């Protein structure tokens, strides 16, 4: 039952095969049994979840038509949730209880979804392995000696291990897509502005975007129908009509032009991963698509540009955490300056401090033009590369990550960790939508395929991903946990 998709569970709830309360209890029991090892959840909201499930059962009995009504989900612990701790995976906010809900949380509550809890994450979403969390690393359900990816690793691991039916995540440079690839689930980063950022604690404001993590492209379409839309409280929210993302899932891929970037099949790509992606591309050809070689000439500059822009914005956004208004405060400060210094040095972890220092330096007098302005100019070149490519093709396909999930503790060098997002970061700099879906395995670990579309073309992305998943079964393969058989 817990391995079913949102679409399957929704049909079962409406058909009276089970109740939301029964489903929620089953997930809570599984969380209690498996989470101590996986560490996917920071906070579990058992009583609240059962109360929401009871309400959902009443709504279902009254004929509620919301596809997520009664469906249990988890929120990444970067979304504010009223009355529930929102920690961002940091000591700085370990005691912060939000007085309001983020827009994304509001929308799922209004649609009748059941919140099981808050998932673990890299501190303030800064990381690619979920090892920077103050609450300890998340373990990959496929191999608990390996990372789940980051920063939304808790959400991806929870979905992969059937600790929830769906989860929210955020993506600043690949933080939905890379953990989705490592955990063998589906993760969608929408276009910048498609989903409200209000109540989502900011890392890099021009890059952050909320999105769904789930078991299939169909489920991602269901979730995006809930999440997308204008929010007047968010100045970055775009006023565009939101289509029904489930309506175009079954369209044929006959005539689809798929761009294959030369830069994504070069040195550094694991041979097993390349083989899996090449095999997936052959499946697309069987479905009627045409493959076109393309260039993204400035892709190699994306890491350098990102690690100027993102830390610069982080240094500004995280300046609010000073021990004065909320969050952690050091003990017995001597004076105001001592409180600021000790609160921030004690409250933030090493990776967050590192990025604050880099960002503050890049924005400082004398270096702004040399670094930050230059990075923004490179960002424009990267966007233009995509615009030129989409004159030739409909979508762009490649690997999500150069390799499958790596061992916990294997990458102690920060620069090596930054290179983990070599294929995903450019999409955030350009503000485009992209999705990662399972497309093979390497030594028994999932391999993710990365699909990119033009601005606000999430419907096309979901259609392409869904048609691939109809033709293959990679997305339905499960890790073996606690002696359970993989299915």
Q: How far is CA 432 from CA 314, 361, 455, in A?
A: 21, 28, 5
- Using left for φ > 0, alpha for ψ between -120 and 50, and beta otherwise, residue 268 falls in left
**Rg for the chain, CA atoms, rounded:** 21
**Selection from 133, 180, 142, 138 nearest residue 161 by Cα:** 142
Q: In this structure, what token pair is assigned to residue 151?
A: 């920063």
Residue 74 and residue 28 in contact, taking contact as beta carbons nearer than 8 Å:
no
Give yes or no: 129 in active site. Answer: no
**Catalytic-labelled residue, pool 90, 151, 302, 401:** 151
Task: Report whether the peptide linkage leading into residue 151 is cis, meaning its omega lies within 30 degrees of zero.
Answer: yes
Query: Which of the 8 DSSP states describes residue 19?
Result: -
Query: Which of the 8 DSSP states describes residue 243?
Result: P
Which residues are CB-neighbours of 473 under 8 A, at least 6 positions away? none
Starting at the edge strand found earlier in the chain, the sheet holding 166-171 runs 41-44, 114-119, 72-76, 166-171, 209-214, 186-189, 434-442, 445-452, 395-399, 257-261, 290-294
Say if residue 122 is exposed, middle or buried (CB neighbours under 10 Å; 0-12, 13-18, 19+). Answer: buried
Determine the Cα–Cα distance for residues 122 and 269; give it in Å rounded to an integer: 25
Q: Distance between alpha carbon 224 and the CA centroid of its chain, in Å?
A: 13
Instruction: Spell 207-230 as b/e; 16+ CB within 10 A means b.
Output: bbbbbbbbbbbbbbbbbbbbbbbe
The angle at the Cα of 91, spanning 87 to 96, to the nearest 5 degrees, equals 40
Helix (H) or strand (E) holding 6: helix 6-14
**Catalytic-labelled residue, pool 76, 118, 215, 411:** 76
Give yes or no: 175 in active site. Answer: yes
Give yes or no: 76 in active site. Answer: yes
DSSP codes joined into one string, 410-467? ---SHHHHHGGGTTTHHHHHHT--EEEEEEEEETTEEEEEEEE-STT-HHHHHHHHHH
At residue 93, the 3 state secondary structure works out as: helix
Which amino acids are annotated catalytic? 76, 151, 175
């Amino acid at each position: 039952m817990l391995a079913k998709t949102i679409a399957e569970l929704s049909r079962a709830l409406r058909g009276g095969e089970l109740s939301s309360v029964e489903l929620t209890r089953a997930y809570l029991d599984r969380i209690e049994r498996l989470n101590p090892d996986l560490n996917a959840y920071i906070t579990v909201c058992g009583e609240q979840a059962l109360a929401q499930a009871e309400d959902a059962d009443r709504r279902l009995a009254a004929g509620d038509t919301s596809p997520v009504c009664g469906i249990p989900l988890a929120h990444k612990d970067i979304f504010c949730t009223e009355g529930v701790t929102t920690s961002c995976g940091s000591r700085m906010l370990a005691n912060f209880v939000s007085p309001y809900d983020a827009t994304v949380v509001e929308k799922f509550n209004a649609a009748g979804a059941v919140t099981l809890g808050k998932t673990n994450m890299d501190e303030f979403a800064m990381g690619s392995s979920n090892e920077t969390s103050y609450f300890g690393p998340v373990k990959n359900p496929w191999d608990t000696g390996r990372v789940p990816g980051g920063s939304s690793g808790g959400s991806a691991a929870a979905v992969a291990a059937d600790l929830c039916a769906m989860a929210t995540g955020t993506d600043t440079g690949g933080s939905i897509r890379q953990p989705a690839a490592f955990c063998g689930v589906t993760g969608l980063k929408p276009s910048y502005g498609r989903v409200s950022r209000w109540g989502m604690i900011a890392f890099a404001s021009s890059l952050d975007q909320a999105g769904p993590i789930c078991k299939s492209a169909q489920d991602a379409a269901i979730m995006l129908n809930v999440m997308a839309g204008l929010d007047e409280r968010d100045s970055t929210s775009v006023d565009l009509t939101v289509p029904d993302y489930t309506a175009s899932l079954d369209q044929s891929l006959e005539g689809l032009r798929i761009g294959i970037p030369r830069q994504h099949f070069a040195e550094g790509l694991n041979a097993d991963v390349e083989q899996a992606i090449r095999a997936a591309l052959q499946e697309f050809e069987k479905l009627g698509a045409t493959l076109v070689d393309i260039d993204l000439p400035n892709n190699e500059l994306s890491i350098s540009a990102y690690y100027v822009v993102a830390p610069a914005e982080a240094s500004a956004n995280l300046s609010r955490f000073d021990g004065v208004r909320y969050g952690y405060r050091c003990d017995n400060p001597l004076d105001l300056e001592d409180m600021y210094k000790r609160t921030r040095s004690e409250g933030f972890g090493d990776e967050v401090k590192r990025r604050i220092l880099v960002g503050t330096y890049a924005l400082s007098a004398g270096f702004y033009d040399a670094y930050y302005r230059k990075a923004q100019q490179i960002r424009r070149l990267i966007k233009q590369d995509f615009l030129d490519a989409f004159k030739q093709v409909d979508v762009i396909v490649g690997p999500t990550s150069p390799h499958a999930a790596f061992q916990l503790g294997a990458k102690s060098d920060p620069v090596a960790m930054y290179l983990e997002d070599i294929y995903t970061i450019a999409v955030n700099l350009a503000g485009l939508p992209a999705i990662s879906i399972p497309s093979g395995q390497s030594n028994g670990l999932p391999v993710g395929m990365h699909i990119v579309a033009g601005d606000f073309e999430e419907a096309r992305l979901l259609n392409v991903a869904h048609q691939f998943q109809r033709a293959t079964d990679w997305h339905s393969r499960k890790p073996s946990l606690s002696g359970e058989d993989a299915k």
